[in-house]
Amino acid sequence: MTGHSKSIDAFNSVLWADAELGPVDVDYDNFSFSILESTGVSKRIVCEGYLGYELVGFWDEIIIATGKLNTTGSFLDRCMLDIARRIGAKRLPSGSEARNREHGLQLVVTFLDGCELNIAMQSLRIDQIE
């Protein structure tokens, strides 16, 4: 199974509509956040080898309308162009094994008020929270 198909399977295991955003955590390797699905199941969304993230115009809406995972996207393109501009197209390996993978993904989480959380990453993993 390829990296993309594992990420797509992980993405499809989440009930995005009407989920509630929980804690967000960013470290060197991963951008992750918890959600509480409308079924009462809690999951941790782990964006491995993140290349960038943005949440612009957030007010007070934490209920998710949709989640979309794409192999292309304008935010992913912006991240890759900025990295190439700063460190060159032939970048040296990162200290993050996940970040060194060659494929990229863009996760877009849209909240009920239309605000979007964009995350560019190399792969996606979902952890069940007990």
| pLDDT average, residue stretch 27-45 | 97
pTM of the entire predicted model: 0.91
| pLDDT average, residue stretch 54-71 | 96
| 74: pLDDT strictly greater than 90 | yes
CATH topology of domain 3-129: N-terminal domain of MutM-like DNA repair proteins (3.20.190)
- Residue 1 — pLDDT band, cuts 50, 70, 90? very low
pLDDT score recorded for residue 41: 97
Domain ranges of the chain: 3-129
| 5: pLDDT strictly greater than 90 | no
Q: Which of 11, 113, 15 is nearest to 62 (CA)?
A: 113
- Contacts by 85-89 with C-beta closer than 8 Å and gap 24+? none
